Amino acid sequence: MVIRGRLWRLSNPFLDPAEHERLVSNLMSARRAIRYAKDAKVRLAARQRVDDAKRALGERGDVWWADGAPDYNRRPVTDTPYATWFSRCSMDS
């Protein structure tokens, strides 16, 4: 997925749908906890929960695919092999 010119890894499509739903729920709960945290310790714990959920979803950490393709997560799309594809998509919009 490309957001503001950067590639972002999507969730592991092989996760059980119920597990995916549970992890997304945990992620959103942790994000709300960050927003409403009144002190740094609570905010830090909530940020760790976000990271844990994103790793479990496959959006961070070890890659979930096994074909040996590199991980371009968080890199500018223009600095990856997807640059030509992205420029074509941008021209279509």
Q: Would the pTM count as exceeding 0.85? A: no
Select from 72, 73, 25, 67 the least CA-distant residue to 49.
25
Band of residue 91 on the pLDDT scale cut at 50, 70, 90: low
Residue found under tokens 């957001």: 3
Predicted confidence (pLDDT) per residue in 21-51, tens digit: 999 999 999 999 999 999 999 999 999 999 9
Residue written as token pair 């074509």: 88
**Pick from 77, 18, 28, 34: nearest CA to 53:** 28
